Structure 1
Amino acid sequence: MPRFAYQTVDVFTDRPFGGNPLAVFTDARGMTDAQMQALAAEMNYSETTFVLPPDEPAHDARVRIFHRTAEMPFAGHPNVGTAWVLARQGRDRGGILRFEQMAGLVEIAIDRDETGEVSGAVIAAPQPLSRGLELTVEEVAPCAGLEAADLVTAAHPPVQASVGVSFVLAQVAPAALARATPDLAAFRALSARHPGLAGRVSLFLYVRDGSAIRARMFAPLAGTWEDPATGSASATLGALLLSLDGGEAAAFSITQGVEMGRPSQLRVSAHRDQDGVRARVGGSCAPMFHGEAVL
């Protein structure tokens, strides 16, 4: 029976049992789509990646990302963690990896410590910032078990935005962040009310103090009750804040996962480019397990 090697890694942390867990199947040749989806459900992490040969020789890999119930066009911590794993295998080219994904080409710069060991990675989101639906506080607040008054709209209303995969971004009052609890019925109602959400309601709540941000992310419709570190949402938020604040570039430090007991630290930068506002997100990684799946 075919055997497929995998590694697990905690992403956006420098120590085990923090950050966001990820499973990486480093050579998925021969797997079917159904097997990839089943393995992602079996691993039961927020995402699992499957590494395949690239379509273009100039690139380093085609990386497919699955959460528990579906494939994703792009995600942050799976790219950071997969790049970390492959770079430790010597598969980067001069500290750079280029991954083909559904949302486009993702370029990753590898971080190394003072000894030259791979310590983390920084990814460039594949698309510039795009904004979609604006939502009311009255319909978004119940999704997190909050009152409308707990949401802050001075900078923006709750808004759908993307740099490769969409999130609903909402600023909340500091005291409300710890109280937030996802309400599955409210998520379902919001999804049914807005076909433009395309069934994807991933709610990223944040509190901002200048460039320092505390955040939580809920996506129960996709099987993720709460996510300890969400790189793609953090990159989207950084791009959105730069677009609202003005200026040419900005940097943010985002802390997530504290309420889950898995503290995570994400570094986000955003800049204005010819095609709009683009963002990068990066952080450290810590190794956990390795093994084989027998299919």
Structure 2
Amino acid sequence: MPRPRPFAQVDVFSAVPYRGNPVAVVLDAQGLETEAMQRFAAWTNLSETTFVLPPRDPGADYRLRIFTPGGELPFAGHPTLGSAHAWLGAGGTPRTAGTVVQECGAGLVPVRVDTADADGAEGAEGAEGVALSFRAPDLVRSGPLEEELVQRLAGAAGLRREDVLDHQWVDNGPGWAALRLASAQAVLDAEVDARALGGVPLGLVGAHPRGAPQQVEVRAFVPDLGVPEDPVTGSLNAGLAQWLTGTGVLPPDYTAAQGARVGRAGVVRVRTLEGRVWVGGRSTTCVGGEVHL
């Protein structure tokens, strides 16, 4: 029988509510079958819906299952931050002060409670208004894309092959393939036919002019999981950061913009601490209450 369960809907990667990427969070998912989780995720019709469970690993504060409308993911960035935000807001206390440890299909993912938001402003005390960042998981696939795939993805994005400056697998779970274009405007102008991607999750990245508020523009497409264009994408930004900071294309610390083509204003902050990439931003609880599942 369905029962009331605590629920929150959190807007992630924006200091302005309703301009980032929302995630639905069921804060007590004990007893729910996978089929019920998937059905609810399809019903919310958000890019991701998450379910908080007791941890299996003694080093974790909770276990998280992450669903798109079309399937389950081992890891995703904005659901990680939004779920940590909701868990803290519901009174969760991490084992280690200042760091929440999430257990998911990609293993243990630390989430820092930051002292500054994506624009450098001081964060507020408590769960609301605190900027969070997750440590980028190790890539499960890296290296250049196959040339045939580069040509196919470029064509699906309405690009010529010569429009692609560089390319790379930046897969930390969802399967990301990335194309680097000459400019942020080229990224924004791309007209992507999601059906032509052939099931490959695609990320586009290009540099903004010097002096712009953000250093790069990012877009993300995951059509096979029911997400034609994701508004703001933590996992993709994590993979891009590992690639582009590692090759010196971008500095160790920078910010990325994402979501303009779908009416959002996401800001993702990347920082490198002790040799590891951390990806974060601001989040806000926009809906709270309970759901009957």
The verdict on a shared fold, with TM-score over 0.5 as the criterion, is: yes
Per-residue CA deviation, residues 27-57 of structure 1 (Å, 9 max, x unaligned), is 1011100001111111111111100000133
Task: Say whether 1:127 aligns with 2:138.
Answer: yes
TM-score (norm 2): 0.86
Paired letter, 1:237: L
Cα 1:151/1:51, change in 2 over 3 Å: same
Unpaired stretches in structure 2, ≥5 consecutive residues: 116-121
**Aligned positions of 1:1-295 closer than 5 A:** 1-93=2-94, 94-111=97-114, 113=122, 115-118=124-127, 119-128=130-139, 130-132=141-143, 134-136=145-147, 137-153=150-166, 158-174=167-183, 175-188=185-198, 191=199, 201-209=200-208, 212-245=215-248, 250-270=252-272, 278-295=276-293
SS at match of 1:146: coil
CA RMSD in angstroms, aligned pairs only: 2.2
Deviation at 1:87, TM superposition (A): 1.4
Cα distance in 1 for partners of 2:188, 2:240 equals: 19
Percent of aligned pairs with the same amino acid: 34
- Which deviates more from structure 2 when the two are superposed, residues 32-41 or residues 167-176? 167-176
TM-score (norm 1): 0.86
Contact kept? 2:73, 2:173, Cα under 8 Å: no
Cα 1:83/1:114, change in 2 over 3 Å: closer
The 4+ residue runs of structure 1 with deviation greater than 6 A are none
Per-residue CA deviation, residues 239-262 of structure 1 (Å, 9 max, x unaligned), is 101221299x71121100012111
Which structure's residues are more often strand, by fraction? 1
Unpaired stretches in structure 1, ≥5 consecutive residues: 192-200
Paired letter, 1:286: T
- Which deviates more from structure 2 when the two are superposed, residues 210-219 or residues 20-29? 210-219
Cα distance in 1 for partners of 2:235, 2:181 equals: 19
Cα distance in 2 for partners of 1:120, 1:47 equals: 20
Contact kept? 1:22, 1:81, Cα under 8 Å: yes
